Amino acid sequence: MKSSLKSKLELTGIYAIVLFMFTLIMYPLLWALSISLNPGTSLFSAKMIPDNWSLEHYKWLFTDPRSDYVLWYKNTLIIAFANAAASVAMVSLVAYVFSRFKFIGRKYGIYTFLLLQMFPVLMGMVAIYLLLNLANLLDTFTGLILIYLIGGLPMNVFLVKGYLDTLPRDLDESAKMDGAGHLTIFFRILLPLTRPILAVVGLFTFMAPFMDFLTPRIILRSPEKFTLALGLFSFINDKFANNFTIFAAGTILIAIPIATVFLILQRYLISGLADGATKG
């Protein structure tokens, strides 16, 4: 009986922690949804779902001539897809080199990646700003993508390298005996096996432009090049006189591409884990 009671208490504690975390995550989202459905510009609502709820704010974002929401959305998607694709390609190649080759400076290169992970990109923003200015990349998508790509490179390379180190080198040796070169080994043998960790890298790098405000604020100047974070800030800053309801509607819609990419990559993540379990 004591063992059964202990198990029930442990299970109750686990459910209580999960419920607490779920509440912390969901309440702000439900609150933002409530504000977006509330007519007018009021930040507060008496009920979670207003009695006279309306989709007028969502309609305004896409139809009103004063709204550049669609343009901001397109800019952010372009930056997000470009950042994710470039990051996955560069990170996988660099991690493969560090994992499978021995060369002068390899150990110090790994230590450098470990060191760079400890410092945020914003610490070197002044130097980055000057470099982008010299290269005429200020107020360009290219400059912003380069910052995201280089800023996330140390952490992502370290993650993918660690994953590649767990793959047996016998795979490489067997392929070499069959006449395969390094690129063939990478693209046809190792790359498919690294889908789980590359899916994580792709998802995180895709999310970065949607969540970041400070970096685009420093780099981008033209309103037609704003990302969603910069554009939505104008709804509660100066352009639309603190219109929190429209701001809430715009933030809710940000979840659509992130959730879509997550669902797509989740399939590769699950299949990769299943393959690894079968081979193990």
Q: What is the mean pLDDT of the chain?
A: 83
The whole-model pTM stands at: 0.84
Same domain (yes/no): 209, 70: yes
Lowest mean pLDDT among 7-11, 54-58, 97-101, 260-264: 7-11
Most confident segment among 54-68, 104-118, 232-246: 54-68
Q: Are 110 and 155 in contact (CB under 8 A)?
A: no
125 within some domain? yes
Handedness of CA 31, 35, 38, 44 (dihedral sign): positive
d(CA 170, CA 184): 15
Q: Are 226 and 220 in contact (CB under 8 A)?
A: yes
Same domain (yes/no): 245, 268: yes
71 within some domain? yes
The total number of structural domains in the chain stands at 2
Q: Are 180 and 196 in contact (CB under 8 A)?
A: no
Q: Is the pLDDT of residue 254 over 80?
A: yes
Same domain (yes/no): 127, 35: no
Same domain (yes/no): 118, 216: yes
What is the pLDDT averaged over residues 128-150?
91
d(CA 56, CA 52): 11
What is the pLDDT averaged over residues 159-178?
86
- pLDDT tens column, 13-57: 888 998 998 888 888 888 888 888 887 766 666 566 667 788 888
59 within some domain? no
- The share of the chain scoring above pLDDT 70, in percent, equals 88
Structural domain that includes position 46: 2-54
Instruction: Label residue 269 by pLDDT band (50, 70, 90).
Output: low
Q: Is the pLDDT of residue 276 over 50?
A: no
What is the pLDDT averaged over residues 148-171?
88
Same domain (yes/no): 36, 96: no
Query: What is the domain-level CATH number for residue 245?
Result: 1.10.3720.10
Task: Give long-range contacts, CB 8 A cutoff, 24+ apart: 95-104.
Answer: 95/156, 95/157, 95/160, 95/161, 95/163, 95/164, 96/164, 96/186, 96/190, 98/157, 98/161, 99/161, 99/164, 99/165, 100/164, 100/169, 100/172, 100/182
pLDDT in the model for residue 145: 94
Q: At a CB cut-off of 8 Å and minimum separation 6, what does 14 contact?
A: none
Same domain (yes/no): 89, 21: no
d(CA 191, CA 20): 39
- pLDDT tens column, 171-223: 888 888 888 888 888 888 888 888 888 998 999 999 999 989 989 998 998 88
pLDDT in the model for residue 278: 37
pLDDT in the model for residue 279: 43
pLDDT in the model for residue 273: 47
DSSP class of residue 7 equals H
